[in-house]
Amino acid sequence: MVYQLKHDPKNYKALQLDVMTITEQLGDFSLITTLMNAPLTGESLASKWKCVETSLQSLSKSGNKIPDISLWDSQGLYLSSKAYDALGDALKSDGEFLSIKVDGEPAYLFNCQVFGQEDISLTERKYLDGEPDGVVSLVFDEADLANNSRYVFRSKMQGCTILYATERFKLLIEKRNLTGIRLDSQLLNIFD
């Protein structure tokens, strides 16, 4: 089973860290393009990185709990120290960890660098004026995900703007009682 990772704004705060804030803190505005393209390319950011500071923000009136995990745009995940300790070994083959401080506390960004292989026979492309424009349906090749021991990944056919996770990831966060994100079995549902 594959899931779309989503914010849980009704209950939890979320990491709000954009490319401009990062490049400003890194002191190198030439990194804007690199940071914007990283979800598409899976490029490493580690050699360009130094600790960035930010905060968690409420996305709704009721969402005031501190998450263990939150989405970081389409790049990856915010991991509290607790989440990093629980998930670091599992996720290391799917990307890299970048140190940050969130509300003064050490934490990590997980930069997802891998892509899941789509099952071409079950995935239907969407076209606009004869050019590929995303997908109508999306199914991943379960054998590819299992053989590559994936936990978290993106889809090139979908456009690399959504993070997906395997059942193995779901079971791991449940076992470790990690909070802050939702897992939706509707892979293309942008609502709720």
Centre a 10 Å sphere on the Cβ of residue 154 and count the other Cβ atoms it contains: 23
**Partners of 100 in the beta sheet?**
52, 107
In a domain, 189, yes or no: no
Tokens for 34, please give them: 């690199």
Percent of the chain predicted with pLDDT > 90: 88
Give pLDDT, residue 134.
81
Taking 80 as the threshold, does the pLDDT of residue 145 lie above it?
Answer: yes
- What is the pTM assigned to this prediction? 0.93
Centre a 10 Å sphere on the Cβ of residue 169 and count the other Cβ atoms it contains: 22
Q: How confident is the model at residue 185 (pLDDT cuts 50, 70, 90)?
A: very high
In a domain, 192, yes or no: no
Give pLDDT, residue 40.
92
Give pLDDT, residue 52.
95
In a domain, 21, yes or no: yes
Mean pLDDT of the chain: 94
Q: How confident is the model at residue 132 (pLDDT cuts 50, 70, 90)?
A: confident
Taking 80 as the threshold, does the pLDDT of residue 123 lie above it?
Answer: yes
Number of domains composing the chain: 1
Tokens for 100, please give them: 């940050």
pLDDT, tens digit (0-9, with 9 covering 90-100), for 5-52: 999 999 999 998 999 999 999 999 999 999 999 999 999 999 999 999
Section 115-126 average pLDDT: 93
Taking 90 as the threshold, does the pLDDT of residue 75 lie above it?
Answer: no
In a domain, 73, yes or no: yes
In a domain, 190, yes or no: no
Question: What is the span of the domain harbouring residue 19?
Answer: 2-184
CA distances (Å), origin 33, targets 21, 22, 185: 14, 12, 32
In a domain, 101, yes or no: yes
In a domain, 158, yes or no: yes
In a domain, 6, yes or no: yes
CA–chain centroid gap for 15, Å, is 11
Residue 86 φ then ψ, to 5°: -80, -30
Contact by Cβ (8 Å): 187, 138: yes
